[in-house]
Structures are given as C-alpha cells and as structure tokens.
C-alpha cells in the first residue's frame, strides 16, 4: 500500500507518525492525546455506527 494517491501527503505522514497502535491514541504532545474509538472513526468517515446488520446479496 502506498500513500501517493492521497491528497494531503504531509498530513498523512504526520498523522501516521503520531498514532500509537498499542494505545490506539493520536499523541499530539506528551500531554495531549486523542483516543481512537469506533464512534470517532464513524464520525470522521461519515459511516453508520453499529445497529444494523450487514447482509450479503445471494448468488
């Protein structure tokens, strides 16, 4: 996977450098962090947050 197709490459690099996968937090500074949660991802991505089951089409 490459980042060349993304519009804001510098922002993407910065964000990836700030994410701690062990804590699932964006560490902006030693005293400022943002916890990554399913609800926050839903808000940012504009996708539904649970409640509805997904159904695969038949055939």
- Domain parsing of the chain, residue ranges: 9-45
- pTM beyond 0.75: the answer is no
6 Cβ contact partners less than 8 Å away, ≥ 6 residues apart: 12
d(CA 59, CA 53): 19
pLDDT at 17: 96
Q: pLDDT tens for residues 1-59? A: 566 666 778 888 899 999 999 999 999 999 999 999 999 988 988 888 877 777 788 86
For 18, other C-beta atoms within 10 Å of its C-beta total 14
Task: Provide the token pair at 2.
Answer: 């490459």
pLDDT at 21: 95
């Amino acid at each position: 996977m490459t980042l060349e197709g993304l519009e804001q490459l510098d922002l993407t690099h910065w964000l990836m450098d700030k994410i701690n996968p062990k804590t699932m937090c964006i560490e902006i500074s030693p005293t400022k962090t943002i916890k990554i949660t399913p609800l926050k991802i839903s808000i940012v991505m504009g996708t539904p947050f649970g409640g509805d089951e997904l159904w695969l089409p038949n055939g």
